[in-house]
């Protein structure tokens, strides 16, 4: 058995509380739960760290806790105040939108693509 971990981590009695699509948000959530004495584990964090696009495609970083501590962990997370985004100036928001639109335009395809040969004319 793994030292300092409840038996649920070894036996598989885990509950997924949520997913974090940004690595630092998942780590902060895990730190909040750990500071309250709740055993927590982040799954797929290494995949998300090494290949962020693959980590997002796989559903982000999963935060799991033992089934016995799930209610306490969920109550703690629900008691946290919601995150509020700071208000930006309108021109700054417009600039970000324009930069994003300019940078994320897909370039035209390049290369030579053969057409599939017509096996039999069916006309």
Q: Does residue 2 surpass a pLDDT of 50?
A: no
Phi, psi (degrees; rounded to nearest 5) at 61: -90, 120
Phi-psi region of 75 (alpha: psi -120 to 50; beta: other; left: phi over 0): alpha
Q: Where do the structural domains in the chain lie, given as residue ranges?
A: 7-79
Q: Does residue 3 surpass a pLDDT of 50?
A: no
50, 85 Cβ separation under 8 angstroms = no
63, 40 Cβ separation under 8 angstroms = yes
pLDDT in tens, 40-87: 999 888 887 787 777 667 777 888 999 999 899 988 988 888 766 566
Q: What is the pLDDT confidence band of residue 119, given thresholds at 50, 70 and 90? A: very low
Fold type of domain 7-79: Alpha-Beta Plaits (3.30.70)
> CA 92, CA 90: separation in Å to the nearest integer?
5
Could you tell me the CA-to-CA distances from 42 to 5, 12, 20, 94, 115 in Å, in that order?
Answer: 14, 14, 10, 36, 47
Which has more pLDDT, 112 or 81?
81
Q: Does residue 121 surpass a pLDDT of 70?
A: no
Residue whose structure tokens are 């006309």? 123
User: Tokens for 2?
Assistant: 């793994």
User: Tokens for 103?
Assistant: 């940078």
Q: Give the predicted TM-score (pTM) of the model.
A: 0.60
């Amino acid at each position: 058995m793994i030292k300092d971990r409840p038996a649920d981590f070894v036996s598989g009695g885990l509950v997924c509380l949520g997913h974090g699509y940004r690595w630092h948000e998942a780590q902060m959530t895990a730190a909040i739960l750990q500071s309250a004495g709740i055993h927590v584990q982040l799954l797929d964090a290494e995949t998300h760290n090494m290949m962020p696009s693959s980590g997002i495609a796989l559903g982000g970083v999963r935060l799991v806790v033992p089934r016995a501590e799930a209610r306490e962990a969920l109550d703690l997370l629900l008691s946290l105040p919601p995150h509020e985004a700071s208000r930006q100036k309108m021109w700054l928001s417009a600039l970000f939108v324009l930069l994003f639109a300019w940078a994320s335009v897909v370039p035209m395809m390049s290369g030579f693509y053969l057409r599939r040969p017509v096996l039999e004319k069916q006309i």
